[in-house]
Structure 1
Amino acid sequence: MDNAFDSTKHQPHERDGAQSGSAMPTRRTAPKLKLVDRLQHWLPKIVLAPTLVITVVCIYGYIIWTGALSLTNSRFLPSFNFTGFGQYAKLMENDRWITSITNLGIFGLLFLAIVIVLGVGLAIFLDQNIRNEGVIRSIYLYPMALSFIVTGTAWKWILNPGLGIEKMVRDWGFTDFKFDWIVDSDMVVYTLVIAAVWQSSGFVMAMFLAGLRGIDSSIIKAAQIDGASLPRIYWSIVMPCLRPVFFSAVIITSHIAIKSFDLVTALTAGGPGYSSDLPALFMYAYSFTRGQTALGSASAMMMLAGILAILVPYLYSELREKKS
């Protein structure tokens, strides 16, 4: 009886021990779980930190540095002798800058208009479920795979009066044919339009084709049942649905036009003289070859202002639509 009593007496202690033993691992693993949670919380930030630092320093930091230099009289080396907006006034009196701005207006407007019209037309053409669509789409997109340096070099050969189109047509017997835009100071800027349109129209086509494929086909079928013609459907129904694509195409092509440097360098080098100069080429020439860093920085800030003048209204309209 005593033994039985003793065994029952100690049973609660064994259970208590088991309970206490089972509770101990929970207490030990709790700090580990907290450590894992902290690592999961901080690890993405640690991984992204170098990229964030590089972005802030190498993009926004240099933008601020360029803006500061534009307010000085820096030449080959940076100077901290601030002169206010004197460089901007000097820039507006520079004939080469005025020519580059005029050329940008001609090049930008023509490039923007032609590439969007061609892009929309090609996208509508491919949207008709034609045969060999993939092959045709690849042909249109192929120029975008090339760099602007390659495009400029290729079109420089094509437009050369002694090697390209003019010589080929004259060899066919049309001896009076003349196509020397690339050496004509009044027409050379249009050669930039030709080369840029050839390269970028396929990309714009892909943007609009993706937008067309995203439209609900039931809307178009309903309009067809109501008796609407195909041109009417595209003009009144499809095009309004592609408004975001239009905005994106305008932003991207405008950005390409404003920062165009490699295409001009390879195709015309800004010539004859500086008749095909664009702001990016002007900025490079004055900042790195003529030793007028402050004037080049001022031109760079003007280019940034042009991009922001296009980008800010677009972002404002997008954010306002999301809020509404």
Structure 2
Amino acid sequence: MSTVAVVSKASPFDALQRWLPKLVLAPSMLIVLVAFYGYIFWTFILSFSNSSFMPSYSWVGLQQYARLMSNDRWWVASSNLAIYGGLFIAISLVLGVLLAVLLDQRIRAEGAIRTIYLYPMALSMIVTGTAWRWLLNPGLGLDKMLRDWGWDGFRMDWLVDPSRVVYCLVIAAVWQSSGFVMALFLAGLRGVDQSIIRAAQIDGASMPTIYMRIVLPSLRPVFFSAVMILAHIAIKSFDLVQAMTGGGPGYASDLPAMFMYSFTFTRGQMGMGSASAVLMLGAVLAILVPYLYSELRSKKQ
């Protein structure tokens, strides 16, 4: 009887082992719940209030959303996001895939080339925006340099052109993120079974055909992951715009994140800024939910 009692009795050390992981994770979980989901819920509540410089909980229904929809600056920011996000995602994907396919050929100096293209990802968007602001500045950068070299007809004044400034943001963002897309696809390409490629070569298929018809279609999960990450970067882009253009000239290069910051913390219209933040979250969920649904459905099948 005593032996059974001793064996069945749990020691304090065993109890500590069971609870230690929970105790270690508890502060992080609490921070996530409060600082992430808690503030999302708080922002959602403020979007239905008449908050100005300070939070107010006077219910006004959809009034802030109606004001947002009638604001010309919001529509400029939204159209800029469509242009910037579409070009940024498309160009980054094309360049990343081409670079990955090139490096997959086991070319010389592969490590050096991979490092060169991955290096921009080590930089923050603030540094990227500042560097490209210098390069594209008509009085300091490429425009002035080429004119000094005798190319008097060269024009690169997009940074001060309201109709073209958004494309400067695309150039800087693609420069930073295309190397990351390259790394994603290169990892996927290195995981493809080489026997499939050799069998296709024996059947007479050329390498472009093999990549277009066999290899790249098998990297569908990598493609969706890259699109998800790039779309998330595009929607939340704030620091790049702030460092590169400040939203100018005027508000020609505004994006929704810049709009939200300006109206919430500068103009004292916290209610409308919160409404814009909720719509940005909705844009992220509109991309995330179908992706997660397709992934879960494919796993079940």
For the aligned pair, the TM-score class normalised by the smaller chain equals over 0.9
Residue 14 of structure 1 corresponds to which residue in structure 2? none
CA distance in 2, matches of 1:260, 1:24: 67
Q: CA deviation at 1:174?
A: 1.1
- Tell whether 2:264 aligns with 1:287: yes
Does residue 78 (structure 1) correspond to residue 55 (structure 2)? The answer is: yes
Residue of structure 2 equivalent to 1:117: 94
**Match of residue 17 from structure 1:** none
- Percent identity between the two aligned chains: 66
Whichever residue aligns with residue 58 of structure 1, its letter is: A
Alignment partner of 1:224 is 2:201: yes
**In the comparison of the two structures, how many residue pairs are matched?**
301
Q: Say which of 10, 14, 32 aligns to 1:37.
A: 14
Match of 1:199 in 2: 176
Aligned-pair CA distance for 1:80? 1.2
RMSD: 1.2
Q: Say yes or no: does 1:52 pair with 2:17.
A: no
Residue aligning to 1:3: none
Q: Distance in 1 between matches of 2:277 and 2:191?
A: 38
Q: 4+ runs of 1 displaced by more than 3 Å?
A: 23-30, 33-37
Deviation at 1:79, TM superposition (A): 1.0
- Deviation of 1:41 after TM superposition, in Å, equals 2.1
The residue number in structure 1 matching 2:219 is 242
Task: Specify the SS of the correspondent of 1:260.
Answer: coil
Cα separation, 2, equivalents of 1:196 and 1:180: 18
Residue 242 of structure 1 aligns to a residue whose secondary structure is helix
Q: State which drifts further: 77-86 or 295-304.
A: 77-86
Match of 1:141 in 2: 118
For residues 188 and 266 of structure 1, the distance between their equivalents in structure 2, rounded to whole angstroms, comes to 13
CA distance in 1, matches of 2:66, 2:277: 14
Aligned to 1:186: 163
How far, CA to CA, are the matches of 1:54 and 1:141 in structure 2? Answer: 32
Q: Which residue of 1 aligns with 2:146?
A: 169
Unpaired stretches in structure 1, ≥5 consecutive residues: 1-22
Equivalent residue for 1:298?
275
Query: What's the CA shift string for 1:160-188, capped at 9, x where partnerless?
Result: 11111111111111112111000000000
1:253 counterpart = 2:230: yes
5+ residue gaps, structure 2, are: none
Q: State the distance in 1 between where 2:4 and 2:20 align.
A: 25
Aligned equivalents of 2:294, 2:7: Cα separation in 1: 52
Structural mapping, 1:98-109, within 5 Å = 98-109=75-86
Shift of 1:209: 0.2
TM-fit CA distance, 1:26: 6.6
Task: State the shift of 1:105 in Å.
Answer: 0.3
Aligned partner of 1:62 in structure 2 is: 39
Greater RCO between the two (CA within 8 Å, min separation 6)?
2
Q: 1:312: Cα distance to partner?
A: 0.3
TM-score of the pair, normalised by structure 1: 0.91
